[in-house]
Chains A and B, each alone.
Chain A
Amino acid sequence: MSRSFRAEIRENRPVNANHNLLTLAPLDIMEEPRPGQFYMIEISRGLDPLLKRAFSLFRRTRDGFQILYRIKGKGTSILRELREGTIISLLGPLGNGYPLPAENQTALVVAGGIGIASVFSLVERIEKRAHLFYGARVGDEIFMTDEMSGYYRELLVCTDDGSCGRKGTVVEAMNDFLSDPSLEGKEPVIYACGPQPMLREIGRIASAKGITAYLSLEEHMACGIGACLGCVVRTKEGYRRVCKEGPVFEAGEIVW
């Protein structure tokens, strides 16, 4: 068993105009991933693009796993063109992943846009326990909700323009939930992945309310295995590597 392995593309299908769902089946024995971990994927055998690209584990399948990704630059534009049957090289699972909530804790899972690609693995693992707050700018960027149903306890969709679900941000929705009297006597714990301003705001709220929040961060990565020191984030303990000590950090540790 090695964290360096090959996998065959089983499916690489669009879920909307600029997001794809990639289904992979390992050809070598793969290490069992934990929610919130990620993979470095070789996009091409050529020299440009050169580096592997980091993608979160979206969900485990019976004989492999899936990656949900946004087509954003050169690497992902090449990735979207890869067809069924293509064999790719990967490293992973990498990073620490989300610590699972204790039995008595109420799990709030917050996804901003493509952040759903990271947190859904946790929603699935803690079956029917997650209060999932899923937000995007517009309704077209909310997807896969049918496939996810049955795994969360509750789903609250928010869009900035109100074109799908509640009008407003997931942070507002999460804050309202935390202020609800029905939460009295329960211990909430927050898990979040999304744009940096969203994570920062969640961190601020969590700290003000004395709640633990786990944030999954993103940084440019070269190696993904802790060697290049490229993906650091500033913490109370100094710079820490997103690929190794992260990508999940306790909000209180981060120095924004």
Chain B
Amino acid sequence: MNLSVSIGSLKLKNPVMTASGTFGYGEEYAEFIDLGRLGAIVVKGLSLSPKEGNPPPRIVETAAGMLNAIGLQNIGIGRFISEKIPFLRTYDTAVIANFFGDSVDEYVQAAEKLASAAGVHALEMNISCPNKQAGWCVFGTDPKVTREVVSAVRKKTSLPLIVKLSPNVTDIGLMAKVAEDAGADAVSLINTITGMAVDIRTRRPKLANITGGLSGPAIKPIALRMVYEVYKAVRIPIIGMGGIVSGEDAVEFLLAGATAVAVGTANFVRPTAAAEVLDGIMNFMEVERIEDIRSLTGTLHAG
């Protein structure tokens, strides 16, 4: 059975990775799951300098999902390189560094710094985190700005470059096409969907940040629809995510057009979730006598 897939020049031994922000820097999970089983670990989003994040409460559970407004808290690229990469390098799994910036220049600098560190196998650009108040959120919603920032980063790194797309747009296929034209090797989707929850007794929002990003099984149908739309719009590989908790969920994404998948919120529910998703995919392939996982991508029979 072949499970390996390619994301640009990056070869993964299997298509299951972790979604950024749901797996820390890997070490938090090492006692619960064999990190070496994962196709890739996508680490918590990084910026040039450390970020403190939003005030609490930062998370609230909703029906079959959760809202978060962590606010991109992270230790900064410098400490990631010196403190976290050495541990990650001891595992036979690809390390994908998710990063973001406040300006085109910061994106470029962050990408260059990460690319210079041995042990980073690919970059994932977060142009879509909905938690920041400042105007930079347009990186993921204004096609012209998306093109500018992706092109600028592309020019400065030869590492496989994945662009993580926001679902908070009218036409995600268009955004994916813009990223592809600007030189992205792959797109990943979806990031969380902006939402909110209200405490009716205090008449206050349940999150200090008022709004947050919705994730978990509640968003899976939307994520699938978007992967399907993006598959029709681009030729580069798609990393599909949004509410995956089982191998069956993952196969749905593959059929809709994804080459690889990421497990996100499910990691919070069960630290072994990503391994269970991989087991589920393998079980499906065995039962259905599928030899090569790549033969599933985009084979949805749609009308």
Contact = CB atoms under 8 A, between A and B. Distances in A.
A47 B245 contact: yes
A219 B57 contact: yes
B267 A4 contact: no
B191 to A, nearest CB: 16
A219 B56 contact: yes
B278 to A, nearest CB: 17
A229 B245 contact: no
B233 to A, nearest CB: 30
**Interface size bucket, A side?**
20 to 34
A229 B73 contact: yes
Contacts of B57: 219-220
Contacts of A232: 53, 56, 58, 73
B31 A3 contact: yes
Nearest to B50: A238
B55 A230 contact: no
Determine the interface band of chain B, counting residues with CB < 8 A from chain A: 35 or more
B271 A239 contact: no
A222 B59 CA distance: 7
Interface string A46-63: 011111100000000000
A51 B245 contact: no
A158 to B, nearest CB: 26
A50 B219 CA distance: 13
Contacts, number: 94
A2 B58 CA distance: 29
A2 B270 CA distance: 14
A231 interface: yes
Given A4-B271, A227-B22, A227-B267, A48 B63 contact: yes
Interface stretch (B64-72, B86-94, B116-124, B286-294): B64-72
Contacts of A219: 56-57
A74 to B, nearest CB: 9
Contact of B32 (A4, A42, A239): A4
A91 interface: yes
B31 A50 contact: no
A234 interface: yes
A223 interface: yes
A222 B268 contact: yes
28 contacts: A2-B31, A4-B271, A48-B64, A50-B64, A50-B65, A50-B216, A50-B269, A51-B269, A52-B269, A89-B270, A91-B271, A219-B56, A220-B58, A220-B59, A222-B59, A222-B66, A223-B28, A225-B28, A225-B29, A228-B22, A228-B68, A228-B70, A228-B268, A229-B58, A230-B58, A232-B73, A233-B56, A239-B52
